[in-house]
Amino acid sequence: MNRRTFLSSTTATVAVLGFPAILRAQGGPLRIGFPLPLTGPFAAIAADQQRGAQLAVEELNTKGGILGRKVEVLFRDDELKPATGAQRTKELIENQNVDFVVGGLAAHVQMAINEQTKKAGRLFISISQSDEISAKPDTSPITFHEALNPTITGRAVGGWGVQNLGKRWWIVYADYAWGKQNNAVFSDVVKKAGGTVLGNTPYPLGKPEFSAHIPRIQAAKPEVLLAATPGADGVAFMKQAISFGMKKEMKIIVPLHFLFAAKEGGADLFADVYGGTNFYWELAETIPQAKRFVDAFTKKFGAPPDGYAGYGYSGILEVARGVTLAKSTDSAKVADTLRKNPTYDHYKGKQYWRACDNKSFQDLWLTKGRPQAKGEWGYFEVAGKVPADEKLERTCAEKGHA
Amino acid sequence: MIRGLLARVAAWVAAHPVLSIVAFFAALPFVVPYPSLATQMLVYGLFALGFNLLYGYTGLLSFGHAAYWGLGAYGAGIALARLGWTSLWAALALGVLSAGIGGAIVGFFALRRRGIYFAMLTLAFAQLLYFVAFHLADLTGGDDGLRGIPQLPLGLFGLSIPLSSPLAFHYFALALAALAVAGLQRVLHSPFGRVLAAIRENDDRATACGYDVTRAKLLSFVFSALITGLAGSLDALRLNVVPVEALFWSTSGQVVIMTLLGGSGTFFGPFVGAGTVLLLGDRLSLVLVDSWPIVIGTVFVMFVLFLPRGIWGTLTGGFHGH
Amino acid sequence: MPDVTLSALAAQLFTGLVLGGILVLLAIGLSLIFGLMTVVNFAHGSFYMLGAYVGFFLLAYTKNFWVALVVAPLVVGTLGLVVERLLIRPLYGRSPNDPLLLTFGLSLVLVEAVKLVAGKVGLTLDPPAALAGAIDLGFMMFPAYRIFVVLVTAVVLVALWLFLEKTNVGLVVRAGSRDALMVRALGIDLGRVWLVVFGLGIAMAGLAGILAGPLRGVYAEMGFEIIIEAFVVVVVGGMGSLLGAVVAGLLIGEVVSLTTYFAPKLAEIVVFIVMAVVLLTRPSGLFGEAGRAE
């Protein structure tokens, strides 16, 4: 390499790496940062969140943007690692000067993002399941939580299950925060509704090996089996349950159903399995707002949205609504405005923010796996609805809010 | 000509490690795309420096340095978030001390074995700590991570200096890193440093020469853990969270890659390696979302094969290498 | 603690045997490669993962599990030969840390490459119809496929033993791992033996991968999780000792399996406790020779 090529390649490198961002003048596009795990085991769900957000931005810009400014969403891969999520959020704030942050999928990553947005004073709308983010010490006046959480899902799905499927339960759960929360909440709900939990089976996360446990569960003859087995563990559990013939002996229920998991594993895997969800695309048949969302989404992406696409879509539109009403991009003012105008309806019916903890309350549904998919995406049928209800969530006092 | 210039720069850097690190990192926030990236490069560089004391200077390959990084982070984080300590200095001290004690205990056991067994034992102890932290959720936050670490101002000579801006924190971290580098410099230039060099070349011969090799290795292990613990503590203050992944073996692997890429056995190499990996990751992940890890992996393999002195060692050509 | 019934205990012991069998297949390859060439192959888990992926695609293409089961290890083993020639061979004679570092980097590259080619979401590999279902063993039901895995492991071990004990190549391998210099002095080309052994070890990792696929699912990171357990097995058994790898593999399989059942919180820690205890009481592992692997 001679000197000239060395110098020119150095210059090129510097140009690629970039110099510190010069603060953008007002009137440029309104920027929203969006960290999410584009790589890693939950990439498929993250892609759904991303599509929801992309649709929202397109719709906003078609209508002329927010307060006359174009909207721009900057997606960043958090790799499903809290440290990466935190660093990418710092980059979004310091380098891209984003006004707001929406996103997060894994509980632990969203908390790391939240620490950065709190410190920098940027409004954050989390679209990941978590009990903690809207409770002390994680909560803040500018931290909003759009998604469901394990307490709400557990009380709603458990309450529905004990009324409709049977009183004698067994719980299998992965031994970590989310699994333990589900075990605690479901046990509580079943007992309060007059049912019994015959036993439970904790197992190490990521080691889905149930052949020694299954005979014991079968011998106890539960009517309902709850499987709090996330991701790949859930697929392994269903396979083992099928090979031991459990599906014929009891109803199986999971906290959450995912369309992409059914698509990956095939209809047999989740056939007759019940599960909760914040949204299922066949709701378009009965809810006009859902029909509008599903049609627009399907037209743009060629496949219907799953629940997390709804969160991504709604999260972006809530930022837009807050800014429009507040006539300001100041995070504290937008947050105040959302608390004062708590009701919104972007994709599935009315939702509202509870003032004490900035938690969104919304309807959720029970779906049941079909033995054979109806069309390309009809893996589930809607089996029941649980309307939004603050009794399904811990009280403000229980969450540490005075 | 460029090579000659580089050689002169390298010679100066080697002669003035503290000054060069301070100068480089003082300017860095204005060169990289955003200030927090410079801080991340500094903190991981310090982590790699701690690892390199053991690998590059003593010849011991630890595959479990996540343990001391995590102990430092949890020590400082728990002091502030759980114990409610109000002094940043005390929290940092607890972090560094936890890492040092952890290093002494693991070192005591792992140093009874050499070579591959040593690497595996350090890995095993680190994984053990990871699973303990994972299940001690009341103390560590478990897999949700430790949150609620407040951004305390720094108390110094009766003044209270706020660290909430990225630049203020950067210079605070730089001051501590400079102290650590200066301390390490003194250690390596003492007779003890020469014992370490003898051990790295051939520890049987070092024993035969009458050195207390076991004690020297253990001391080196503890120093390494202390520096790593300082880096971990700073990271906890920087991010205001401690993810349990801090203790996971992939963190140990990351510091191995950074050190080897930069150039082990040199003072500045670990900083160069950490900076390169983080800067590339930050920029490449924007254009090559899916494929940038494979780029880093391939570059690393190429360096092990063809450039075992690493970036800095190769650029400066033979000032320090193995 | 759950109440213990005989059938649950038997099922758990058998599950431990299945896990142990897969660990043995991995650990023997690791141990052979280390014993002969003092290479610690960190990428062993990634070849295990490749075995499962290659098996998946062969199955999708041929619709025949048995073909996939035989061909996948051959494909992976061939890749192993290439890796030995191009990447490992240049490092002989350098610090023993260098091959470890190289294969560590290689394992990252392989995992990321698989994600690019086959996608980030895991795949499911189904056992053949003949092995679906469960078999009634009288006192308990046990999935047929798991019994099959144990049988395959046993057959491979016997074949390997015959190869090492009854063939000339096997003799050279055994001699070479004892004293490479002496073997070379006898005019034997050890380079070729190394190549064969590396390929054989990698092929066994590939076999373990396709066998494990239907049990644990197929995903890019599957090798990272098991490689650490396989290392523990090799270290506990004694680096370079094949008998040690077998005994320690079955031991670790049973210990993990029983701990998972009785104390799931300890399931991930227990392997390291076993390893630390063994190393501190028997520094060279259960069957290792003192002074090796230092």
* C15–A206 CB contact, under 8 Å: no
Name the residue in chain C with its Cα closest to that of B56. C97
* A215–C141 CB contact, under 8 Å: yes
All residues of chain B having their beta carbon less than 8 Å from the beta carbon of residue A76 are 285-286
**Rounded distance, CA B46 to CA B27, Å?**
17
Question: Between A and B, how many CB-CB pairs are < 8 A?
Answer: 101
- B280-306 residue pLDDT tens: 888 888 877 777 788 888 999 999 999
User: Is B7:B317 a contact under the CB 8 Å cutoff?
Assistant: yes
> Which pair of tokens denotes residue C146?
């798991």
Name the residue in chain C with its Cα closest to that of B119. C97
Question: For residue A310, what pLDDT is reported?
Answer: 96
**Residue in B106, B156, B101, B152 with CA at minimum distance from that of residue B128:** B106
The DSSP bridge pattern shows strands A224-228 and A168-174 to be: parallel
Question: For residue B322, what pLDDT is reported?
Answer: 38
Other chains touching A, judged by 3 or more CB pairs under 8 Å: B, C
The answer to whether A170 faces chain C, any CB pair under 8 Å, is no
- The average pLDDT across B22-28 equals 95
C134 closest CB neighbour out of A41, A207, A244: A244
Peptide bond preceding A137 in cis form (omega within 30 of 0) = yes
All residues of chain A having their beta carbon less than 8 Å from the beta carbon of residue B148 are 137-138
All residues of chain A having their beta carbon less than 8 Å from the beta carbon of residue C121 are 41, 43-44, 260, 264
**Rounded distance, CA B281 to CA B299, Å?**
13
Of residues C135 and B230, the one with the higher pLDDT is B230
> Which pair of tokens denotes residue B47?
């982590």
pLDDT of C2 > 70? The answer is no
A166: left (phi over 0), alpha (psi -120 to 50) or beta: left
How close, in Å, is residue A5 to chain C by CA atoms? 30
Of residues C52 and B321, the one with the higher pLDDT is C52
**Rounded distance, CA B104 to CA B232, Å?**
17
* A116–B240 CB contact, under 8 Å: yes
All residues of chain A having their beta carbon less than 8 Å from the beta carbon of residue C7 are 215
Confidence of residue B258 (pLDDT cuts 50, 70, 90): very high
User: Is A39:B290 a contact under the CB 8 Å cutoff?
Assistant: yes
Residue A51 neighbours by CB under 8 Å, 6+ apart: A297, A300, A301, A305, A309, A312
* A232–C268 CB contact, under 8 Å: no
Name the residue in chain A with its Cα closest to that of B165. A120
> Which pair of tokens denotes residue C1?
């603690």
All residues of chain C having their beta carbon less than 8 Å from the beta carbon of residue B294 are 108-109, 112-113, 116
What CA–CA distances, in Å, run from A282 to A221, A279, A293? 34, 9, 11
User: Is B310:A119 a contact under the CB 8 Å cutoff?
Assistant: no
* A17–B285 CB contact, under 8 Å: no
C293 closest CB neighbour out of B116, B260, B297: B116
Q: Output the DSSP codes for B158-206.
A: TEEE---SHHHHHHHHHHHHHHHHHHHHHHHHSHHHHHHHHHHH-HHHH
- A148-197 residue pLDDT tens: 999 999 999 999 999 999 999 999 998 888 888 999 999 999 999 999 99
Of residues B157 and A66, the one with the higher pLDDT is A66
The answer to whether B279 faces chain A, any CB pair under 8 Å, is yes
Residues in chain C whose beta carbon is closer than 8 A to a beta carbon of chain B?
A: 34, 40, 87, 90-91, 94, 96-98, 100-102, 104-106, 108-109, 112-113, 115-116, 228, 231-232, 235, 239, 265, 268-269, 272-273, 275-276, 279-280, 283, 293-294
Other chains touching B, judged by 3 or more CB pairs under 8 Å: A, C
Strands (DSSP E) found in A306-388? 343-344, 351-354, 359-361, 364-374, 378-386
A177 closest CB neighbour out of B35, B137, B151: B137
Tokens 């560089």 belong to residue = B45
> Which pair of tokens denotes residue A301?
């992406």
How close, in Å, is residue B171 to chain C by CA atoms? 34
Residue C45 neighbours by CB under 8 Å, 6+ apart: C26, C107, C205, C222, C223, C224, C225, C226, C227, C230
Enter the ipTM: 0.90
Instruction: Using the Cα atoms of residue C4, residue C10, residue C11 and residue C13 in order, give the sign of their dihedral.
Output: positive
How close, in Å, is residue C85 to chain A by CA atoms? 30
B301 closest CB neighbour out of C40, C102, C275: C102
All residues of chain B having their beta carbon less than 8 Å from the beta carbon of residue A116 are 239-240
Alpha carbon A185 to chain centroid, angstroms: 19
**Rounded distance, CA C35 to CA C20, Å?**
21
- C7, C112, C124: best to mutate for the A interface, most A CBs within 10 A: C124
All residues of chain A having their beta carbon less than 8 Å from the beta carbon of residue B35 are 20, 94
Question: For residue A1, what pLDDT is reported?
Answer: 40
pTM for this one? 0.90
Classify residue C125 by its DSSP letter: -
B308 closest CB neighbour out of C98, C283, C294: C98
pLDDT of B233 > 80? The answer is yes
Other chains touching C, judged by 3 or more CB pairs under 8 Å: A, B
What is the number of other CB atoms lying within 10 angstroms of the CB of residue C159? Answer: 10
Residues in chain B whose beta carbon is closer than 8 A to a beta carbon of chain C?
A: 61, 109, 112-117, 119-121, 123-125, 127-128, 131-132, 135, 249, 253, 256-257, 260, 290-291, 293-294, 296-298, 300-301, 304-305, 308
Question: For residue A11, what pLDDT is reported?
Answer: 42
* C112–B297 CB contact, under 8 Å: yes
**Rounded distance, CA A166 to CA A330, Å?**
51
Residue B129 neighbours by CB under 8 Å, 6+ apart: B67, B70, B71, B102, B247
Question: For residue A44, what pLDDT is reported?
Answer: 84
* B289–A137 CB contact, under 8 Å: no
> Which pair of tokens denotes residue A247?
């599906």
Question: For residue C102, what pLDDT is reported?
Answer: 93
Question: Between A and C, how many CB-CB pairs are < 8 A?
Answer: 80
A115 closest CB neighbour out of B240, B283, B290: B240
Compute the half-sphere exposure of residue A367: CA atoms within 13 Å on the CB side of its CA: 25
Name the residue in chain A with its Cα closest to that of B149. A115
Give φ, ψ of C262 to 5 degrees: -90, -30
pLDDT of C190 > 80? The answer is no
Q: Which residues in chain A come in under a pLDDT of 50?
A: 1-25
Question: For residue C20, what pLDDT is reported?
Answer: 94
Question: For residue C228, what pLDDT is reported?
Answer: 85
A115 closest CB neighbour out of B34, B239, B283: B239
- B3, B140, B165, B241: best to mutate for the A interface, most A CBs within 10 A: B241
Of residues A168 and C2, the one with the higher pLDDT is A168
How close, in Å, is residue C166 to chain B by CA atoms? 31
- B101-141 residue pLDDT tens: 999 999 998 998 877 788 888 988 999 999 999 989 899 99
The answer to whether A220 faces chain C, any CB pair under 8 Å, is no
